[in-house]
Structure 1
Amino acid sequence: MKEQFSKFYKFKLIIILAFMSSLAPLATDMYLPALGEVQKSFATNSFLTQLSLASFFIAFSLGQLAYGPLSDVYGRKKPLYGGILLFILSSIACISIDSIYTFIFFRFTQALGGCVGVVIAIAIVNDKFNVKEAAGIFALMMVVSSLAPMLAPTFGGIFLDYFSWKAIFSVLFGLGILLFLMIMFGLDESAKIDKTLNLSPKSVWQNYKFILKDRRFRIYVFSAGFALAAMFAYITGSPFVFIEHFGLSQKEYGIVFGINALGFTIFANINAKLVQKLSPYQILPYAFLSMLCLAILLTIAGFMGLGFICIEIFIFLTVGSLGFIVPNTTTLAMARFKQKSGSASAILGTSEFAIAGIISFIVGAFKANHPFSLAIIMVTCVLIACTIYLSLNKKRFLSGKNSSLTQFCR
């Protein structure tokens, strides 16, 4: 039986957890308008510049594997302090280097520290709330945390009008310190520490193996992972598509990126209201199929060479669809492991962002900087996501039982 919390407590918790979840994404989104400037500053090529994004995503996923078990053994707050401190130090280091390879390394360590907020925020919600409440809390967290990607590129573009790209990392340094203080004074310990757990490699592996044996957990995680990969493909390729292909200025690109993030905010907010009446099981199949249809329309628009407005509308709707998918898959996956919240959250985050990192690398390696080539990668990711999710009850479907879409995906 979960505790009852006041509205003020929930509000405060959502703000802190959303900030925790947003810090590392901010380190990407504020930096996006500066990709061209970074490329010029280091006198390098677009592949190495985009590699600074891909390395960030990969570290963001791998780091969570460490923080999950650490938070189950030592509680949620101690790993948070260590991770945020690493983020702060790496942000300062990014300002003082003069080599693209060193910059890529510190972007890696910055993500390694920043990812702690994501994995532990999810674990804290799972610690404190039941399934129905958790679905609403996750959705509201994402509404608040999506303000970061909505505003960050705009601020990044404004900074570039007056300062060099290194000023962005000074801001990230300050945000890291602010979050450190908020965690210290505003967050209580939520973990029910199991003293039988230990951090030996064998024990950690056995714990992860136990979680990964759960088929439904795997389906929720990997279907969401490939859906998110479509968004990260867009994030990696969008500066080149909008600025170089469509000729937008850095400031205009920041506004467009913010509008697309607003789509996610709107749909996540609608989802937060829907889960009060409908279960996540009822929402998800329609959300996945809608995202696939929209991604196909985006691909057709790219192939036909339609203009900026048409491409932007389909990107807005495709990315926005994740507002229905991510909160609900997260809730259903985490609900299966209430006693191992940290480890389950680590696997969830690692899997999702490892896929995102690989897709970001592919976007850079294949120079998918044209609307059609970018759309091809995005629609492929969404198609894989739908295939995985709709395999949930494929035997039932093939036998003709429970033929309605909602029943089929329960």
Structure 2
Amino acid sequence: MTTKRYVFLILILGSLSALGPFSIDMYLPGFLAIANDLHTTVARVSLSLSSFFIGISAGQLLYGPLLDRFGRKKPLYLGLILYVVASAGCLFIHSVDALIALRFVQAIGSCAAAVAAVAMVRDLFPIEDNAKVFSLLLLVLGASPMIAPTLGGYVIAGYGWQAVFLILMVLGTLILLATFFWLPESYKPDPSYSLKPKPILTRFWSVLREPQFFTYALAGAVTFSGLFAYVAGSAQVFMGIYQVSSQGYGWIFAFLSVGFIGSSQLNSVALRYYRSEQIVPVALLSQSIIGLLFLLSAGLGLLGLYSTIAFLFAFLCCLGFTNPNTSALSLAPFAHNAGSASALMGALQMGVGALASVAVSLFDSQSAIPMISIMAAAATGALMILLIGRRMIVRPVVESSQTEPVLH
């Protein structure tokens, strides 16, 4: 594969991966405006964020088997069309309940892109390159938290929050066209792959029984839920508690994303000298210490705007090291059933993340402690899962004989 081809594939797969996060980040600065227009509270509006997470979690279990049965592109087309239609529907809502429902449908569509992108990394690239590819995807993915909230803040200030969903509809359409014309089919449809419930559940169970999968996928999902807690609570913390404007909030969100994305690129450098299974425990231990110090500072009333930003930046830096490596180690054992494994991994991430975001939404308080408590619990819980689960992994899979890219 040429370098040009390699970069082009990364850009398309990165765009697919970023669709869901972009859909989340861009409307965050509009929470106050949406609450005012729909005559509700910010906490109620944040449930539309939770419904999005739930939709992504449930949808990934749907798309996993479809990707293994029909190939990667046909289910991807279905999901992207659904996303575009739901985005258009959000332009005409008049109640927060309608927003919550349509965001769920929008998520069902967008998660096809996320599952397909992860599975296609496993299809298209040598397995020993997967952690590096995931780090590069995070670089593209990083455009979302760096651009989306800032852009969203200015769009909402100038044209209203409905304009955000118009932009998302156009973006979904462009990604659909790029997928159709330039993304190769990486997996031949398998007519023998049954879509009946029992065989699907059996395949999912076979994936879950792999100790390397459940250890790294669960640890990765739990620590990643700290990011969801931050996303769900940050609007209230910055705009509600610290009285930051919607544009200012967008810039803070963009700055904090630099920690997550920058560390993911440092991870690529670290992989030249250390293995993924060596990086993960160090990153989780560091994240746990940061989370607990963050919580202690909040409890003692020592936090201000800038110290809150500093703690969040350090916490997100750790995620940039854990996420690419736990993803690569989770999928490494699966030359086959990569779609199902990718779906389960994504469902775990989004499912645990949805619980974290709902937990934050339940606290309609003028305090950052609920958000910080969940972030600290996520980091320490993930570390415990890793330390226990690694004892069950007899033969870690970090390489594969399938080292050549598979293109169809």
What TM-score results when the alignment is normalised by the length of structure 2?
0.94
Residue among 193, 208, 213 paired with 1:212: 208
Map 1:147-186 → 2, pairs under 5 A:
147-186=143-182
Q: Could you say what secondary structure the match of 2:237 adopts?
A: helix
| 8 Å CA contact retained: 1:147, 1:262 | no
- Aligned mates of 2:58, 2:325 — CA distance in 1: 23
For 2:107 and 2:227, how far apart are their aligned partners in 1?
Answer: 18
Task: State which of 241, 245, 262 in structure 2 corresponds to 1:266.
Answer: 262
Task: Indicate which of 282, 305, 308 corresponds to 2:305.
Answer: 308
Aligned ranges 1:81-120 → 2 under 5 Å:
81-120=77-116
Q: CA deviation at 1:395?
A: 8.0
CA 1:74–1:395 in 2, change beyond 3 Å: closer, same or farther?
closer
Does residue 1:378 correspond to 2:398, yes or no? no
Equivalent of 1:319 in 316, 319, 338: 316
1:265-299 deviation line (CA, Å, top 9, x unaligned): 11000001221332101111101101111111211
Deviations 1:30-81 (A, max 9, x none): 0100011111111012332111000000001100111111010100000110
Judge which range, 84-93 or 208-217, deviates more.
Answer: 208-217
In the superposition, relative to structure 1, how do residues 33 and 20 fare at CA in structure 2: closer, same or farther (>3 Å)? same
Give the 5 Å matches for 1:286-305: 286-305=282-301
> CA–CA distance in 2 between the matches of 1:169 and 1:67?
24
- The answer for the alignment partner of 2:38 in structure 1 is 42
Aligned-partner SS, 1:248: coil
TM-align CA RMSD: 1.3
In structure 1, the partner of 2:359 is 362
Count of residues paired in the alignment? 392
Q: Which amino acid aligns with 2:354?
A: G
Q: Does 1:140 align with 2:112?
A: no
* Aligned pair partner of 2:278 in 269, 277, 282: 282
Task: Note if contact 2:298-2:368 (Cα within 8 Å) is conserved in structure 1.
Answer: yes
Distance apart, 1:168 and its partner CA: 0.2
Give the drift of 1:195: 3.6
Q: Alpha-carbon deviation of 1:164?
A: 0.8
Kept after mapping to 1: 8 A contact 2:55/2:105: yes
TM-score normalised by L of structure 1: 0.93
Matching of residue 69 in structure 1 with residue 65 in structure 2:
yes
- Describe the superposition over 1:4-48 as per-residue Cα deviations: whole angstroms up to 9, x where unpaired: x11111100110001001111111100100011111111012332
Q: Which AA in structure 1 matches 2:210?
A: D
- State the secondary structure of the residue aligned to 2:94: coil
SS in 2 for 1:54: helix
Q: Counterpart in 1 of 2:192?
A: 196
Q: Which moves more between the two structures, 11-20 or 206-215?
A: 206-215
Q: Distance in 1 between matches of 2:365 and 2:346?
A: 25
Q: Does 2:9 correspond to 1:13? A: yes
Residue segments in structure 1 that go unaligned for 5+ positions in a row: 397-410
Matched, 1:224 2:189: no
Worse-superposed segment, 288-297 or 344-353: 288-297
Q: Which moved more, 1:295-304 or 1:78-87?
A: 295-304
% identity of equivalent residues: 34
| Map of 1:26 onto structure 2 | 22
Task: Report the Cα distance in structure 2 between the residues aligned to 1:51 and 1:217, rounded to whole angstroms.
Answer: 30
Question: 2:73 and 2:391 mapped to 1: Cα distance?
Answer: 41
Distance 2:386 2:366 in 1: 29
Residue range with higher mean Cα deviation, 193-202 or 134-143: 193-202
Residue from 373, 388, 398 that aligns with 1:391: 388
Which of 235, 242, 248 does residue 239 from structure 1 map onto? 235
Aligned counterparts of 2:336 and 2:365: Cα–Cα separation in 1: 42
For residues 330 and 354 of structure 1, the distance between their equivalents in structure 2, rounded to whole angstroms, comes to 16
Q: Which moved more, 1:91-100 or 1:275-284?
A: 275-284
Q: What amino acid is aligned across from residue 30 of structure 2 in structure 1? A: A
- TM-superposed CA distance for 1:184, in Å, is 0.7
The alpha-carbon distance between structure 1 residues 98 and 203, as it changes in their structure 2 partners (threshold 3 A), is: same
8 Å Cα contact 1:21/1:117 also seen in 2: yes
Cα distance, 1:319 vs. partner? 1.4
1:346 aligned residue: 343
Residue 68 of structure 2 aligns with an amino acid whose one-letter code is D
How far apart are 1:209 and its partner, in Å?
Answer: 1.0
The aligned amino acid for 1:310 is S
User: Secondary structure, in 3 states, of the residue corresponding to 1:392?
Assistant: helix
TM-fit CA distance, 1:368: 5.6
Aligned-pair CA distance for 1:394? 4.5
Amino acid of the residue matched to residue 326 of structure 1? N
Report the Cα distance in structure 2 between the residues aligned to 1:369 and 1:277, rounded to whole angstroms.
Answer: 45
Q: CA deviation at 1:369?
A: 5.1
Q: Which moved more, 1:188-197 or 1:204-213?
A: 188-197
Q: Work out the CA distance in 1 between the residues paired with 2:264 and 2:365.
A: 28
